Structure 1
Amino acid sequence: MASYFDEHDREPLNPEREARNNMLLELARRVRGAWSWTPGGRSLFTRMDFQDLGLVDWEHHLPPPAAKAVVESLPRTVISSSKADLKCPVCLLEFEEEETVIEMPCHHLFHSNCILPWLSKTNSCPLCRHELPTDDDSYEEHKKDKARRQQQQHRLENLHGAMYT
């Protein structure tokens, strides 16, 4: 019995090219399963796991850590007697008078031992989810795109409402 390659007058692929073809086939399978349509008719990838390709689908992953320079520049506040009854939202211990705490841009106060580990894992305030900048360019681009989409959606809603008033 003749081999497949002899029967079809083909040469076997070299291992490097075969691996590349397998990666492309796997990508095509994932893309096919992740394809969807938006109301505007544009195509989007909704369920694809981009991590294998060096990209991340930020809608389904935790945000990256806050930028180190931003975390280092967060203001330190000394607790006065008027704020001594406040508690750290993470450990729930009351702040002591004259204690130095970290103040987030949203004005929430935290012990440094409580907030620094959190910001090394994600870029947002644990209470209100106010986001700090990150060192991840792809995430920052995702935030800009998301803001543009929200602004466009808002404009469309206002335009639709203006047509019927």
Structure 2
Amino acid sequence: MDASSSPSSSEEGLKQELDDLQRQLNKKLRFEESVRSIHFLLRDRYASASPSLRKQFYTVVCRVATVLKTRYTATGFWLAGLHLFEEAERLVSNAAEKEHLKSCIAQAKEELNEVDNPPTEEPQNNGNRGYLFEGHLTVDPEPPQPQWLVQQNLMSAFASIVAGESSRGPGENNDAAATADLMQELINSLDSVIPEILEVDGAPPRAPPASKEVVAKLPVIVLTEEVLNKLGPEPECCICKENLVVGDKMQELPCKHTFHPPCLKPWLDEHNSCPICRHELPTDDHRYESWKEREKEAEEERKGAENAVRGGEYMYV
């Protein structure tokens, strides 16, 4: 049904129309037209709609956001989505819904801004190219220091200044400017430095983000009717809580649980574990991976010792 024609006077008719439009979102050639139709209905009918119909409007708008993130990325589609999200955010009163729509608006603007302002390659400065490595000048620029090394250098420098301050006499001059600069650097990197300061010996370290190479190689599958049926009634992405439909692209973890690719990457950056079973992926942090290997070996030794004790107990029973 074309939303530009006179809409049904009954809410049941409008609900059916929204259902039809939501199904049309799965057809790329109908997507942009369907989003504009939803926008038209939202603008004209939301204010007088019942709570259940308002909830359906919100569900359909969220479905538009999910399809944009997982399937269609053309500029025209994002622009239509942005106008819809802005209209919906203006109309809804529920705080949680309004907050989610604001995030949809922000993402749409970010996508459109990247299209309008593509990153330009900075001119090369031959005077700054290369760095000294094992006595030779390299061709490529020096790579950025890993975060753990930045943290270590900051903490070492701070400890040196504190030690120097405590050893000076009351009449000696202090390098206040250097101390202030270092303190500002520490403040700017508190989020990454504090876990290092608070970490106690023997306590499990916080898992770093999953390896980018590992995440990039995770298989992507397209949901079929057969796969959806295996997932049970009303399957959803456990991260964004959106219901899944035929045609959705899903990324599969080694534990076989699947999620929308745009949802999974930020989750793995923050938590590095499956939201369902907590299966952990490899990281690029060699120190953390070594700690995991040592813990695995220690656990095997503990189990071996426990089995040996039990075996000895059985001999004397």
Greater C-alpha radius of gyration: 2
TM-score scaled by length of structure 1: 0.64
Please give the secondary structure, in 1, of the residue aligned with 2:280: coil
> Which residue of the partner structure matches residue 101 of structure 2?
none
C-alpha contact (below 8 Å) 2:205/2:288 kept by paired residues = no
> Which residue of the partner structure matches residue 106 of structure 1?
255
> Which residue of the partner structure matches residue 148 of structure 1?
297
Aligned positions of 1:39-118 closer than 5 A? 51=196, 59-84=203-228, 85-118=234-267
CA distance in 2, matches of 1:136, 1:153: 26
Q: Which has the higher contact order (CA 8 A, sep 6+)?
A: 1
> Which residue of the partner structure matches residue 133 of structure 1?
282
More helix by share: 2
Q: Give the C-alpha shift of residue 96 in structure 1.
A: 1.6
Aligned residues: CA RMSD:
2.7
Q: Give the C-alpha shift of residue 87 in structure 1.
A: 1.2
Q: Summarize deviations over 1:104-146 as a string: whole Å, max 9, x none.
A: 1101110112111111223211111101000001110110011
Q: Give the C-alpha shift of residue 92 in structure 1.
A: 1.7
Please give the secondary structure, in 2, of the residue aligned with 1:128: coil
Q: Summarize deviations over 1:20-47 as a string: whole Å, max 9, x none.
A: 797xxxxxxxxxxxxxxxxxxxxxxxxx
CA distance in 1, matches of 2:163, 2:279: 44
Identity of aligned residues (%): 34
CA distance in 1, matches of 2:196, 2:280: 22
Q: What 5-or-longer segments of structure 1 have no aligned partner?
A: 1-15, 23-48
C-alpha contact (below 8 Å) 2:240/2:263 kept by paired residues = yes
Q: Summarize deviations over 1:53-77 as a string: whole Å, max 9, x none.
A: xx98683542100000000000001
Please give the secondary structure, in 1, of the residue aligned with 2:270: coil
Amino acid at match of 1:66: A
Amino acid at match of 2:277: C
Please give the secondary structure, in 1, of the residue aligned with 2:250: strand
Please give the secondary structure, in 2, of the residue aligned with 1:140: helix
- Of the three residues 268, 280, 300, the one matched with 1:119 is 268
Q: Give the C-alpha shift of residue 86 in structure 1.
A: 2.3
Amino acid at match of 2:227: K
TM-score scaled by length of structure 2: 0.35
Larger mean CA deviation between 66-75 and 123-132 belongs to: 123-132
Count of residues in Structure 1 that have an aligned counterpart in Structure 2: 122
